[in-house]
Amino acid sequence: MRRALPFFGLFGAALLLPLFSNDYWAVIGARAAVYWILVGGLNLVVGYGGQLAIGYVALLTLGAYTSAVLVAKFGVDPFVSYGAAGLVGAVAGVVVGLPALRLRTFYFAMTTLGFATIVTQVALAWQSVTGGGIGIGGPELPKPFDSPWGFYLFALALAAFVTWLSSNVAQSRFGRALVAVRDAEVAAEAVGISKPHLLTTVFLFAGACAGVAGGLFATLQSYITPEAFSFDLSVTFFIAILVGGRGSILGPLIGNIILTLLPEFAAPLVAWSTFLYAALLLGIVLAMPGGIAAMIDFKNRRPLASNRAILPNPALISGHGTARGDIVLKNVVLAFGGVRAIDGLDMTIRPGEVHGLIGPNGSGKTTTLNVISGYYAPQEGEAFLGASPLPHGAPRARAALGIARTFQTPRLIGEASVLENVMIGATIEGNASFVESVFSLPRHHRDEKHLTAKAMQALATVGLERLAEVRADRLQHSELRFMEIARALILNPAFILLDEPAAGLSGDEIKRLGELIKAMAAQGIGVLLVEHHADLIFDICDHVTVLNLGKELASGSPADIRAHKEVVSAYLGG
Amino acid sequence: MLQAILAAGIAVGATYALIGITYNLMFSASRVMSFTAGQLGMAGGVLGALFIGRMGFPVIPGMILALAGCAIIGLVTEFVAVRPVLGALDQHLYVLSTLGLALMIQQFTAIEWSTEPQPFPRLIGIGEGGPFDEKFWLPVVACAATVGGLEYLYRRTLVGRAFLAIAEDNFAARALGLPERNLRMASYALAGVVGGLAGFASGELLLAFFANGAMLNFLGFVPVALGGLGNNRGALIGGLALGLFQQAANFLVGGVFASVAVFTVFIVVLLVAPQGLFGAPPSRRV
Amino acid sequence: MPISAAEPLLSVSGLTAGYGKIAVLHGIDLIIRPGEIVALLGPNGAGKTTLLSAVSGLLPWGGQARFAGQDLAGVSPREAARRGLVHVIEGHRVFTQLSVNDNLLLAGYDLPARERASRVEEALSYFPEIAAKRLDKGGALSGGQQQMLAVAQGLVRRPKLLMLDEPSAGLSPVLVDRVLSVAAALRDAGTAVLLVEQLIEKALGLADRVYAMAQGRIVLEADTTEPNLPHRLEQAYFGHDAVPEPGFSRIS
């Protein structure tokens, strides 16, 4: 509830605006509201999803012309025309957005920019429908929305509605998944997040918002020509979000208000406004990447206790998911270029066992882990879970099979809280659909309650519960390692794959990590442990496999391995 | 008509190719795609018109001044928009920082120069009006000279080989003791000159117009995207093909649909081959 | 500045380094004297490559380090190479698009132009195998030849100290001996060599002294002539319960 206070403050103040200002301000206020309807949706794409869509003015244009043409040429009801504009916007949003699934950031930015140019040119050339350069009248609303203040309040209500919708998305598993795709795409895949589904949904939503905003924009302008949809406008939307700060609703809302109002207060600078916005963008990127949101994030300014220790509570590890048998690798071969990273490997990981995997650099340890977790498809051989083969090259499918993992370098979502980072791990357990989350329906609340409780339990297990609300990028390296383990444990996995979890940990922390891992196995979880710390491996493993040049050099109990002469020399050299 | 299509197509194609090479020069030195590439082309035209047309410098000194101005813009790009974000390339902040700088350059020009296209002076005065008018072949000459010059640089000089070295393996080049930062700055200055030359040589064709920056940004990027990042040969072939395709579509179906056609082809090719037609596959992620 | 025989060529004390938040080296003390071969051993992730990168200026670091009588604080890889401290990084990362000759010329980028060609010849004289291929592209060489080229690049600078990071990785036994024999030849010519090596017997056979690292610390320093060295190395890595024997200098 406290989070909603600033929004009530802003919209409350906006409601009071008619009491002490003139019609001119009604138009400015309505403009800010209409822009926000677009920016509020775009914020999920840019701020949360990290997709650099710089040409969103194209969707505004499409929405505006859809609405204006339907009303002027076909006599459609203006409100219905807004709906149609939203529909067209949603479809176009997906069309413009889809390249993001395939293209890298700069490419995607360019395609949206190109699309914006094309739409304006078509609007200019298609005179029979759009009126070309002469333009077309915008839809006129019936009473009481035909007055400046009437329209203002209508737009304000819609803006408030969009704010509510977008913050519902942001605080759902979909919002967290968007940020995960932005900051830690590989980890997002490992927990079962489907980037194509997620982005398509969000592009639909943002496109619909932009389309409706376009319809309202046509009404606001009362007459539209292609010139009204300059690229500068697009840049303003985009910059409002970045100035506001990524991963925030309030920040971009404030950014949007400031950028809309600024030219009114600094009349001599109007000609320079785009220049100033651009300078602002450059300044923000270089000096304050967090934007306004980081500036007003007082909670994360408070210093953290400097000598905090991680004290896991292994007793809290709860029952694991039902294992469907052992993970079995049979004669797996995987080569990169000419180099055989894995060269005919057989291995069995059993539930309730800690299986250590050691070997010198380049012996294929992490590659083996990546085959099991689905990032690489073996060229020969097969990986099984129980009797059924593990699907190749499908990391997303692993979470549903109860296989969780951590990474050699922690893949954190830096700007999200520790709690949210852990909740990401159980994204696939959510039941509410996107629509249910958008409208904050009961199933969405049940999901949130369930995931929060599980995440707190996982955090308590690894000993980080007191840091739950802290932004993850403020944590120390060792804490991030334990956070990743919590993210894996929240899934109640049948198997957990740990990639050098002890790297960078202190001696005490390694000891506690060892106890935690032993407790996992005691609860029936199968653990694959890739590690360099020989003492940890020999302390806690039930079974050790030694790799060299992609082949098994030795396999057996820790005692067998310690006595193995070849192993000792290979390992020492490594 | 064929003659007109060929003349105009090769001329604009050579310009796009030069902007593509500008992108590549910056990319090779820093792994950064910069939105200032097209603005350099725009600046070459505007500065040329300023020095020669308005201030009355002779052609050669005017050209040198214009290109020097563009070299400075290239250096500013490196210093302001690229160097501060090099440490976090994976966050793609350079997309935003170079976009910010590019917009500043564009808006500054719009306000201080003009928002309308301004005439570019006749440089030599050959082939008045016909398909052999200098405005058609000057960009081609500039493009040929640039490609030849770069070829000489890369094959015959140690500095050129050092450019290739940092492009291939920046870390190994640093470990070897190469002055990586100086080489990067030199690359950006060179990119400035090449981009400026694109705009200067095509000035009579495209005029001195602030909005050329955004247009060249996109159309100069198309050959890079199709040819593969950092591949100058791809940019050259792609640029010429794009110019011919665009002008042919222009003459045959009209300007708007030419733009739509270019955009469509661009998207389709990219979706089919995201690395470009001559590009390398992506590296391992995990 | 002339260096007396007593003064070490490289002296490092309390050196710390890491990547971002991850501290890898926790206070390294190490010296190398002129003209000796020192082997640096240790398991994966012990911090050997990090140590080399910090000393050569590729990574930021803390603590003290002096080379040939001068402070190394804030020195770039370029400046380090000028002073005669050359680092051949792991993975034989030569420039595949450039010829062997050009690869070597680039290593002499900072040398006066007229000296470059003769320095290249000098470096190639250690490796007749690749001298014959000087016009071939780096990418056309075999892995072993690329490794020789990488070492030759280091030699172009006539280093006082050559740091070789896993020069034998991925090479056949014959080639390993070939590359390592150059280290011996360099020692005879007065160049010091710091060798990170995974083939422990080869390293011990070649080096004068050995340092072993584990988990970012030096855990053992010894002359290679001392008895029972392999066993002590094993203890240093595997057992936190290992009891130091007499004559076993254990730092950390």
CA separation for the pair B48, B67 (Å, rounded)? 8
Asked if A571 and C43 come within 8 Å (Cβ–Cβ), the reply is: yes
Provide the residue type at A94 as one letter: V
Query: What residues have CB less than 8 Å from C185, skipping those under 6 apart?
Result: C126
CA-angle at C35, arms to C31 and C38, nearest 5°: 50
pLDDT recorded at residue C1: 44
Residue B198 pLDDT level (bands cut at 50, 70, 90): very high
CB–CB contact A121 B271 (8 Å): no
pLDDT at residue B274 is higher than 50:
yes
User: If you write DSSP's letter for every residue of A156-202 in order, what string do you get?
Assistant: HHHHHHHHHHHHHHHTSHHHHHHHHHHH-HHHHHHTT--HHHHHHHH
The per-residue pLDDT for A231 is 84
| Domain membership flag for residue A53 | yes
Does residue A170 fall inside a structural domain?
yes
A with C: how many residue pairs have Cβ under 8 Å apart? Answer: 54
The single-letter DSSP state of residue A383 is E
Q: Is the dihedral of CA B67, B70, B72, B77 positive or negative?
A: negative
Euclidean distance between CA atoms B238 and B24, whole angstroms: 13
Select from A387, A379, A394 the least CA-distant residue to A344.
A379
Q: Does B268 touch chain A (CB under 8 A)?
A: no
Q: How far away is chain A from the Cα of B16, in angstroms, using its nearest Cα?
A: 15
Dist. CA C156–CA C104, nearest whole Å? 7
C140 min Cα distance to partner chain A (Å): 14
- Quote the tokens at residue B279: 């590009």
Cβ–Cβ gap C157/B177 under 8 Å: yes
Q: Quote the tokens at residue B220.
A: 């100069």
Query: Is-contact C40 C164, C-beta < 8 A?
Result: no
Do A262 and A320 lie in a common domain?
A: no
Does any CB of chain C come closer than 8 Å to the CB of residue B151? no
Shared domain check, A386 and A355: yes
pLDDT at residue A341 in the model: 86
Domain shared by A147 and A92, yes or no: yes
A13 C-beta neighbours (distance < 10 Å), count: 9
CA distance B121 to C167: 61
Query: Which residues are C31's β-sheet partners?
Result: C11
Q: Can you state the angle between helices B212-227 and B2-30, rounded to 10 degrees?
A: 80
Report in angstroms the alpha-carbon separations of B196 from B141, B145, B224, C232: 14, 14, 18, 66
Mutate to test the interface with B, among A57, A110, A413 (most CBs of B within 10 A): A110
C contacts of B172 (beta carbons < 8 Å): 89, 93-95
Q: Helix count (H) and strand count (E) of chain A? A: 23, 12
Q: Exposed (0-12), middle (13-18) or buried (19+): which is C26, by Cβ within 10 Å? A: middle
A221 and A338 assigned to the same domain: no
- Within B77-179, where are the H helices? 93-112, 134-156, 158-168, 170-175
Q: Cα distance from C91 to chain B (closest Cα, Å)? A: 10
Distance CA A564, CA A561 (A): 5
Residue type, A542: D
Domain hosting residue A164, numbered range: 2-299
| Domain membership flag for residue A418 | no
Examine the domain organization and report whether A277 and A339 are in the same domain. no
Alpha carbons C189 and C125: distance in angstroms, whole number: 14
Q: Do residue A256 and residue A402 come from a single domain?
A: no
* % chain A with pLDDT above 70: 97
Q: What's the Cα-to-Cα distance from A482 to each of A423, B20, B173, C46, rounded to whole Å?
A: 14, 47, 37, 21
**Residues of chain B found within 8 Å of residue A121, distances taken between Cβ atoms:** 255-256, 259-260
Is B172 within 8 Å of chain C by CB? yes
In this structure, is residue A435 part of a structural domain?
A: no
| Residue contact A573–C215, C-beta within 8 A | no
Contact B174 C82 (CB under 8 A): no
Evaluate whether C95 touches B172 at the Cβ level (below 8 Å). yes
Nearest CA in chain A to B81: A282
- CA angle C149/C155/C157 to nearest 5° reads 125
Q: How far is CA B116 from CA A231, B36, B112, B220, C129, in A?
A: 16, 21, 12, 22, 65
Q: Which of C58, C82, C97 sits opposite B175 (nearest CB)?
A: C58
Q: Is the peptide bond before A442 cis (omega within 30 degrees of 0)?
A: no
Structure tokens at C176: 């390993």
Please count the other Cβ atoms lying within 10 Å of the Cβ belonging to residue A325: 15
Residue A285 and residue B225: Cβ atoms within 8 Å?
A: no
Same-domain pairing of A325 and A289: no
pLDDT, tens only, A357-405:
988 777 888 899 999 999 998 889 989 998 888 888 788 989 989 999 9
Summarised one tens digit per residue, pLDDT across range B81-110 is: 999 999 877 778 899 999 999 999 999 999
Which amino acid type is present at position A545? T
Q: What CATH number corresponds to the domain at position A556?
A: 3.40.50.300
Which among B176, B182, B183, B233 is the top mutation candidate for probing chain C, defined by the most C β-carbons within 10 Å of its own β-carbon? Answer: B176
Measured distance CA(A387)–CA(A389) in Å, rounded: 7
DSSP state of A45: I
Note every long-range contact of B242-245, with CB atoms under 8 Å and residues 24 or more positions apart, other chains counting. B242/B13, B242/B16, B243/B8, B243/B9, B243/B10, B243/B11, B243/B12, B243/B13, B243/B14, B243/B15, B243/B16, B243/B17, B244/B5, B244/B6, B244/B9, B244/B10, B244/B13, B245/B9
- The residues, ordered by sequence, that sit 6+ positions from A438 with a Cβ below 8 Å of its Cβ are A165, A168, A169, A205
- SS3 category, A556: strand
Residue C241 has what pLDDT?
39
Domains of chain B, CATH where assigned: 2-272 (1.10.3470)
Is the separation of the CB atoms in A301 and A474 below 8 Å? Answer: no
What ipTM, to 2 d.p.?
0.90
Question: Within this chain, do residues A287 and A407 fall inside the same structural domain, yes or no?
Answer: no
Residue A119, token pair as written in the block: 């739409």
Give bridge partners of residue A330 from the DSSP assignment. A382
Cα–Cα distance measured from residue A443 to residue B25, given in angstroms and rounded to the nearest whole number: 54
Contact residues, chain A, for C199 at CB < 8 Å: 573
Interface test with B, best of C106, C146, C161 (most B CBs within 10 A): C106
Is residue A436 in a domain?
A: no
Report the residue of chain B nearest A269, measured CA to CA.
B111
Query: Which of B82, B93, B96, B219 best tests the A interface by mutation, with the highest count of A CBs <10 A?
Result: B96
Do A54 and A235 touch, CB atoms closer than 8 A? yes
Do A178 and A198 form a contact (C-beta atoms < 8 A)? yes
Q: Are residues A400 and A509 in the same domain?
A: yes
CA-CA distances (angstroms) from residue C28 to A20, A263, C14, C58, C211? 70, 59, 5, 17, 11
User: What is the CB neighbour count within 10 angstroms for residue A154?
Assistant: 18
Read off the tokens for A229.
Answer: 């949809």
Q: Give the confidence band of B279 by pLDDT, cuts at 50, 70, 90.
A: low
| Closest chain A CA to residue C216 | A504
- For residue A240, report the phi and psi dihedrals to the nearest 5 degrees: -55, -40
CB C48 within 8 Å of CB C17: no
Of the candidates A476, A533, A568, the beta carbon closest to that of C21 is on: A476
Assess C84–B contact: CB distance below 8 Å, yes or no: no
Closest-approach residue (CA) in chain B for A238: B96
Amino acid at A250: L
Q: Are residues A201 and A326 located together in one domain of the fold?
A: no
Q: Angle B40-B46-B51 (CA atoms, 0-180°, nearest 5)?
A: 120
Q: What one-character DSSP code corresponds to residue A304? A: P
Nearest to A532 among C45, C170, C234 (CB): C45
| Mean per-residue pLDDT, B170-182 | 94
What's the CA gap between A539 and C242, in Å, rounded?
15
Q: Does C58 touch chain B (CB under 8 A)?
A: yes
Distance of alpha carbon A168 from alpha carbon A501, whole angstroms? 35
B100: contact with A, CB 8 A cutoff: yes
A109 reaches B (C-beta below 8 A): yes
Q: Total structural domains in chain A?
A: 2
pLDDT string in tens for chain A (574-residue length): 567 888 999 999 998 888 888 888 999 999 999 999 999 999 999 999 999 999 999 999 999 999 999 999 999 999 999 999 999 999 999 998 888 887 878 889 988 988 888 898 889 888 888 888 889 999 999 888 989 999 999 999 999 999 999 999 999 999 999 999 999 989 999 999 999 999 999 999 999 999 999 999 999 999 999 989 988 898 899 999 999 998 899 999 999 999 998 888 877 777 888 898 899 999 988 988 888 888 888 888 888 887 788 889 888 887 666 667 899 999 999 988 767 889 899 999 999 999 999 887 778 888 999 999 999 988 899 899 988 888 887 889 899 899 999 999 899 998 899 999 999 999 999 989 999 999 999 999 999 999 999 999 999 999 999 999 999 989 999 999 999 999 999 999 999 999 999 988 888 999 999 999 999 999 999 999 998 888 899 899 999 999 888 888 889 998 888 887 777 666 654 4
Q: Write the DSSP symbol of residue C138.
A: G
Neighbouring chains of B at 3+ CB pairs under 8 Å are A, C
pLDDT at C142: 87
Please report which helix (H) or strand (E) contains residue A215, including its range. helix A195-221
- Domain contains A461: no
Residues A286 and A330 in one domain: no
The dihedral sign for the CA sequence B22, B27, B30, B36: positive
Assigned domain for A566 exists: yes
The series of mean pLDDT values per 10 residues for chain C, 252 residues long, is 66 92 89 94 86 95 94 94 94 92 94 93 92 92 90 94 88 83 91 90 90 90 86 70 36 34
Domain with residue A23: its CATH number is 1.10.3470
CB pair distance less than 8 Å for B101 and A370: no
Contacts of A572 in chain C (CB under 8 A): 41, 43, 200, 230, 233-234, 237
B176 CB neighbours in chain C (<8 A) are 77, 81, 106-107, 109, 153
Which residue ranges form the domains of chain C, and what is each CATH number?
Answer: 10-91+145-238 (3.40.50.300)
Residue C250 pLDDT: 36
Answer yes or no: is A260 within a domain. yes
**Length of chain B as a residue count:** 286
Residue B281 has pLDDT above 80, yes or no: no
- CB-nearest to C198 from A360, A504, A535 is A360
Chains A, B: CB contacts within 8 A come to 113
- In terms of Cβ atoms closer than 10 Å to its own Cβ (0-12, 13-18, 19+), residue A363 is buried
Q: Which residues of chain B lie closer than 8 angstroms to A336, CB-CB?
A: 284
Integer-rounded Cα radius of gyration of chain C: 18
Q: Sort out which chain B residues have CB atoms less than 8 A from C77's CB and list them.
A: 174-177
Same domain for A292 and A401 = no
Per-residue pLDDT at B284 exceeds 70: no
